[in-house]
Amino acid sequence: MDIIAVYNAKGGSGKSTLTAQISGAYHAMGKTVGVVDMDEQRSIYAVLKDHESIQVFAGSPTSKPDVDVLIIDHPPGPVLPHEAARVVIVPFEADRFNVASTNTAKRLLGDKHQVVTVLNKFKGEHGASALEKSIAEQYSYDLLVRERAAYKSSVAEGLTIFCENFSGAKQPSLKQAKSEIEQIVKKIEELL
Which of 140 and 163 is assigned the larger pLDDT?
163
**Mean per-residue pLDDT, 145-170:** 87
Tell me the three state secondary structure of residue 41.
coil
Are the CB atoms for 4 and 86 separated by under 8 Å?
yes
Cα–Cα dist 92/147, whole Å: 12
Tell me how far apart the alpha carbons of residues 114 and 152 are, in angstroms, rounded to a whole number.
Answer: 27
Q: Can you tell me the distance from the alpha carbon of 119 to that of 166, in angstroms, rounded to the nearest whole number?
A: 25
CATH of range 2-191; options 3.40.50.300, 3.20.20.70, 3.10.180.10, 3.20.190.10: 3.40.50.300
Encode pLDDT of 89-146 as tens digits. Answer: 999 988 877 787 788 888 888 778 899 999 999 887 677 777 777 777 777 788 989 9
| pLDDT at residue 71, rounded to an integer | 97
Domain parsing of the chain, residue ranges: 2-191
pTM here is 0.91
Closest CA relative to residue 33, chosen from 44, 22, 43, 41: 22
How would residue 185 be classed by pLDDT, with cut points 50, 70 and 90? Answer: very high
